[in-house]
Chain A
């Protein structure tokens, strides 16, 4: 569904990964502009994966998402190198690019 929402707004989805390990590998191989990363992953913690991606793909902007509320994650958001948090229900291409651009 996320791919259809983003593509409907003209963004190109260059890769998809089903867990943290393959996400790090794909980000490293492709070097995408933006990575939309779920906080809850089958193989662990999205915050740790965000740091790993930031390490292997320096140009890539990371936006975290979750069906959890931002309020529950606030303490950890303060420490992440991701650009921001986008609640799943609020996902759109416009919101994603705006958030990716929000941090230099």
Chain B
């Protein structure tokens, strides 16, 4: 049988039961009025109807069934006629209604009692009404009842009005105590609820407080005073109305859970700031008013969930204080929300939250990927520069050890030939001298080519010696300041050397300077190379300057290259590099 059928059948049964209540009254009138009986039937009907709606809308929650049960028991307690069995059942059930009602209120909204105090209170309620009523019936014979002559209760043992009164009074006092405790619990629950929880709980709590207060009032008035008939009626009507309001409040609370528009806007704004995974969690928690909210990520490789810091997370099961909502996209699970069970599933809201969370997580993932890629690119750029340097160094060595040695040998051989030929053959001597001149020029060109590729002095002796050699070759006088004598990491030395070399070449070509200062300084873990001239300034490096290639070299080491060259104020070129402490000094090698 489908749930729909069951619900429909129960609804039909409710209507029949309501009608039966009224009918029995018409056939066996008691001291109450027809209006009151119709009102009672209506209250029971509202509980049943609200329960069935809740059951239909939220079948996974037991609360709907519990609410319907309240309605049925209520109707059953009202429908009686003067026969021993219905009378006895009516009497026991009449107290039970309030106990089941209390159970439903405290179990709202999941249908499960959340904590020990609630369970204890509900158990006490059941015990009081069942035991109290049964024990009472053992002694109470309704002598003053209009129909007293025609029925008796089934459990009557010894008709004794004084004992019955004492039991009634005892039960009454206990009931009042339980009702007061219930009010305290309601208010405490309200106080500790989250914003989302209050949205759901609010109507139920306050309707329940009202109804319980009415019950307490009636108990006190009926139990300890002799109220006039009209007051009894007013109280009875009042209780019925307030009790009828409670299931409506249940429904309002259950169906009210949906994302507030403002909260959704706030969520999108917060997620728009591209927070990390934990930022996403905080934004969701704020938007949903549930500080306990946790966001976990599905890890297909391990088949489990992990939190933002990568630790595995077990999803709670059978924990009434936490609910789990799976986050899926395109049928694929990507995470889950662990949240306050009050933040009940409302598909629109969860779709919105899921989409927002997915967007933010996707952003965070892309950001992380981008960062990782940047790190890889930076590392690969450094490797490329390093590999390039290694190649340059090898070419320089090959030129030096190979070609240059051969040319030098030829020069020595020319010297020997010149000696053999003697001074008589002037023509041959002139030819030899010419060849030697060409050879010297060739050797010079080869040396300067090799130096441009990678200066041997930089490899062998380091930055200080290399800059000194550079300074000596510069046509414009160079003043070297504070160059550290110790060896630095090779890529750093190479970058600084080539920057200085290019800068000095530019000074010689364009600056019309009379003086250049080259400073190398180490401060706060940074190494600064500054080349300043007193020339005409106004240098433009936007074109195809050799400095552009050098900027790549500098940035590959996380450094920065800056040129300031105002017209008439000379040119200052500044290259700045971070120096890892461990690499501050290296033995020369």
Chain A residues within 8 Å of B, Cβ to Cβ: 1-2, 4-5, 8-9, 67-69, 71-76, 88-89, 91-92
Contact B408 A75 (CB under 8 A): no
Contact A72 B412 (CB under 8 A): no
Give me 4 other A-B pairs in contact (C-beta within 8 A), A2-B412, A89-B407 excluded.
Answer: A5-B416, A69-B447, A72-B455, A73-B457
Question: Does B173 interact with chain A (Cβ within 8 Å)?
Answer: no
Contact A71 B416 (CB under 8 A): no
| B412: A residues at CB distance < 8 A | 1-2, 4-5, 88-89, 91
Contact of B456 among A9, A68, A76 (CB under 8 A): A68
How many A-B pairs have beta carbons closer than 8 Å: the answer is 51
Question: Does B488 interact with chain A (Cβ within 8 Å)?
Answer: no
Give the distance in Å from the alpha carbon of A91 to the alpha carbon of B414 in the complex: 12
Contact B411 A89 (CB under 8 A): yes
User: Closest Cβ of chain A: how far from B292's Cβ, in Å?
Assistant: 71
Q: List 17 A-B contacts (CB under 8 A).
A: A1-B412, A8-B416, A67-B405, A68-B400, A68-B457, A69-B447, A71-B472, A72-B455, A74-B472, A75-B465, A88-B408, A88-B412, A89-B407, A89-B412, A89-B439, A89-B443, A91-B412
Given A2-B412, A8-B416, A75-B465, does the pair A89, B473 have CB atoms closer than 8 Å? no
Question: Does B409 interact with chain A (Cβ within 8 Å)?
Answer: yes
Give the distance in Å from the alpha carbon of A3 to the alpha carbon of B553 in the complex: 46
| A9: B residues at CB distance < 8 A | 419
Question: Does B569 interact with chain A (Cβ within 8 Å)?
Answer: no
| B400: A residues at CB distance < 8 A | 67-68
Contact B468 A75 (CB under 8 A): yes
| A75: B residues at CB distance < 8 A | 461, 464-465, 468
Given A8-B416, A8-B419, A89-B440, does the pair A67, B469 have CB atoms closer than 8 Å? no
Closest-by-CB residue of B relative to A68 is B456
Give the distance in Å from the alpha carbon of A59 to the alpha carbon of B335 in the complex: 87
Instruction: Digitize B469-486: 1 where CB-to-A-CB distance is under 8 Å, 0 elsewhere.
Output: 100110000000000000
Question: Does B584 interact with chain A (Cβ within 8 Å)?
Answer: no
Contact B408 A72 (CB under 8 A): no
Give the distance in Å from the alpha carbon of A9 to the alpha carbon of B457 in the complex: 33
User: Closest Cβ of chain B: how far from A60's Cβ, in Å?
Assistant: 23
Contact B468 A74 (CB under 8 A): yes
| B223: A residues at CB distance < 8 A | none
Question: Does B415 interact with chain A (Cβ within 8 Å)?
Answer: yes
